[in-house]
A and B are shown apart, each in its own frame.
Chain A
Amino acid sequence: QLQLQESGPGLVKPSETLSLTCTVSGGSISSSSYYWGWIRQPPGKGLEWIGSIYYSGSTYYNPSLKSRVTISVDTSKNQFSLKLSSVTAADTAVYYCARQRWYQLPDAFDIWGQGTMVTVSS
């Protein structure tokens, strides 16, 4: 069955760029029925949608993060990636990647990775 796995550094220094990759296994990232998204959760707090990408490269971003976020896709590797620039302690969170259903209109995130903790600290 389809699985998603986040990878990347667990510690990032303030003002630097956070970079994470999500590897999709058991299925193709190039499916026409899905977008692929990033969601984060600060310790003890709620969920925040960061952005979503289609295999063609079409993206949607949370306006609150848009100036610092880039999401990209590599179909040859069945991966998509997140870059968040100029990080501060407020960006410390568990970062999840997830598959988003998209049948003509956006829909729910139905398959999630296990999440990866990223701490911003010097």
Chain B
Amino acid sequence: AIQLTQSPSSLSASVGDRVTITCRASQGISSALAWYQQKPGKAPKLLIYDASSLESGVPSRFSGSGSGTDFTLTISSLQPEDFATYYCQQFNSYPHVYSFGQGTKLEIK
């Protein structure tokens, strides 16, 4: 099965900072990757799909890039409401197993 490895596992940053989170797949998955944001006690929220497409209603400071095995989520200018845990998830069709990365916790410095 395809494994996703996120880095870093945790990150401290300040409001206004530019932040990048990486997700690496154990084999190529084309652009079949999504990013989610999860706040404590809440369900995950879809931010990015198809590696680089911004979900409707998500602020434009969020962006995604990559294809194959290496992907990034970038927040261009951190806002107070962005402190949360971020997960990547892959949707490779063969086999149909939609694994998640282990998560990256973004904390206030």
Contact = CB atoms under 8 A, between A and B. Distances in A.
Contact of B43 (A62, A105, A114): A114
Interface residues of B, number: 26
A108 B49 contact: yes
Interface in B72-86: none
Contacts, number: 67
Interface string B85-109: 0010101010111111111000000
Contacts of B98: 37, 49, 52, 106
B44 interface: yes
**What's the dominant secondary structure at chain A's contact region?**
strand
B91 to A, nearest CB: 4
Contact of B102 (A46, A106, A115): A46
Interface of A: 37, 39, 46-49, 52, 60, 62-63, 96, 98, 101, 105-110, 112-115
